[in-house]
Amino acid sequence: MSIVTVQLGQCGNQIGFEVFDALLSDSHSSQGLCCKRENEAYQASCKERFFSEEENGVPIARAVLVDMEPKVISQTLSKAAQSGRWKYGQHACFCQKQGSGNNWAYGYSVHGPRHEESIMNLIRKEVEKCDSFSGFFIIMSMAGGTGSGIGAFVTQNLQDQYSNSLKMNQIIWPYGTGEVIVQNYNSILTLSHLYRSSDALLVHENDAVHKICAKLMNIKQISFSDINQVLAHQLGSVFQPTYSAESSFHYRRNPLGDLMEHLVPHPEFKMLSIRNVPHMSENSLAYSTFTWAGLLKHLRQMLISNAKMEEGIDWHVRPSLSGPSSLGKMSLNKDLHFNTSIANLVILRGKDVQSADVGKKFRAYIHQYTKFGIEEEDFLDSFTSLEQVVASYCNL
């Protein structure tokens, strides 16, 4: 069953490219441990999920690229074409000239409605190409204007138009010390809207991934492409075909559905995070050995202590829920994701709400949002809905 990816904004597009690249190179990698037939089945399954075939054999990613300015999309398209192994559909992208100016209101109230039809048309075309459609995977950031504003708008529309399919939103939590000054406002507004219209929110924090790059992978000068590659690696391990629990001969047919079934028991608790082991640079791979048991042990430790990586675990144990896990084979990287009372995430979110609160008290930057139709009541609504979410998580 196929997944259609919607890449929004600079962040979404850059990550989306890395994800497709990682998926394809992983399925074609020559390091597999299984027999040829298995490899082929794996490849076929992966391909069907994310790519559609073209005449000359080059797979085309099932993706829609949206951005309000042309530079990033043209870069992404050319990078994909250059790799020679896959590419994006020629007409699968939508871009404007002027950007959203980091303004959620501009993205949501102006760009969204204005371009609603074109964007939904593109998505519909992609969906029609799929034989059996499983759901949407939407990649966006929360700090900017396009990803957050248009992302919220598009997710809402998808909810209306495709109410039977599942949507998983991959959102990027910005750095704590700021990449965009109004990121708190943008994040609050995005989260509150997404909570209502999305089925699951998979959160990645720039800070955490940055630390993984620094400590575990030993990269000296970390660039955004390094960060995106780590993210793609993690996402890849979620989405690669896995055996289902019942029979070990067929791959799971409905990836998104299965994930949601296990991980989102109640619509109130939608936030997911990924813990992935092991992370290391290519050079160290040759010097390390793994055992399944060792990896599992690491993961359990990470989970109990709510750490994002293997090192530097803080051993204050907080009680946590654990849900069923899905194990993947065929790749060297395993993953487990749990839906716990994500204390870390909740704290982060709490802090975000608070700093946005303080800003709002002084009415800072509000005039930029009211220019496009987002009034103070909208802010208030967002605050209340997020507080509710935080409270319900805390009650667990």
Partner 1 sequence: MTQSVVVQVGQCGNQIGCCFWDLALREHAAVNQKGIYDEAISSFFRNVDTRVIGDGGSISKGKICSLKARVRYISLDSYITLIFDCNRKESLNVMEGIEMLRIRPGIRTNKKMQGILKILVLIFRAVGHRVFGSLYQDQILEKLRKSAEHCDSLQCFFIIHSMGGGTGSGLGTFLLKMLEDEFPEVCRFVTSIYPSGEDDVITSPYNSILAMKELNEHADCVLPIDNQSLFDIISKIDLMVNSGKLGTTVKPKSLVTSSSGALKTRHKKPFDAMNNIVANLLLNLTSSARFEGSLNMDLNEISMNLVPFPQLHYLVSSLTPLYTLTDVNIPPRRLDQMFSDAFSKDHQLLRADPKHSLYLACALMVRGNVQISDVRRNIERLKPSLQFVSWNQEGWKTSLCSIPPVGHSHSLLALANNTCVKPTFMELKERFMRLYKKKAHLHHYLQVEGMEESCFTEAVSSLSALIQEYNQLDATKNMPVQDLPRLSIAM
What is the pairing mode between strands 334-336 and 275-277? antiparallel
How many Å is the Cα radius of gyration of the chain?
Answer: 20
- Residues 318-357: x where in contact with partner 1 by CB under 8 A, - otherwise, as a string: --------------------------------x--xxx-x
Least separation in angstroms between residue 144's CB and partner 1 is 9
Q: Which is nearer to partner 1, 58 or 358 (CB)?
A: 358
Contact window for partner 1 (CB under 8 A) among 25-33, 35-43, 176-184, 306-314: 176-184
**Can residue 81 be called a binding residue for partner 1 (CB under 8 A)?**
no
Give the residue carrying structure tokens 């990121």: 183
**Can residue 176 be called a binding residue for partner 1 (CB under 8 A)?**
yes
**Can residue 229 be called a binding residue for partner 1 (CB under 8 A)?**
no
Least separation in angstroms between residue 359's CB and partner 1 is 5
- Residue 282 half-sphere exposure toward CB, CA atoms < 13 A: 3
**Can residue 99 be called a binding residue for partner 1 (CB under 8 A)?**
yes
For partner 1, which residue of 12, 89, 107, 145 counts as binding (CB under 8 A)? 145
Q: SS3 for 250?
A: coil
Least separation in angstroms between residue 181's CB and partner 1 is 4
Residues contacting partner 1: total by CB under 8 A = 53
Least separation in angstroms between residue 277's CB and partner 1 is 23
Least separation in angstroms between residue 330's CB and partner 1 is 32
Residue 306 zone, left/alpha/beta (φ > 0; ψ -120 to 50; rest):
left
Least separation in angstroms between residue 394's CB and partner 1 is 10
Instruction: Please report, for residues 45, 93, 95, 106, the alpha-carbon distance to residue 109 in angstroms, rounded to integers and kept in the order given.
Output: 39, 21, 17, 6
Helix axes 151-161, 112-129, angle to 10 degrees: 50
Longest dimension (CA), the chain: 64
CA distance 345 to 271: 9
304-330: b (≥16 Cβ within 10 Å) or e: bebbbbbeeeeeeeeebeeeeebebeb
For partner 1, which residue of 221, 248, 288, 291 counts as binding (CB under 8 A)? 221
Residue 90 zone, left/alpha/beta (φ > 0; ψ -120 to 50; rest):
alpha
**Can residue 218 be called a binding residue for partner 1 (CB under 8 A)?**
no
Residues that bind partner 1 (CB under 8 A): 10, 14, 69-72, 75, 96-99, 101-103, 145, 175-182, 210, 213-214, 221-225, 227, 350, 353-355, 357-359, 361-365, 367-368, 383-384, 387-388, 391-392, 395
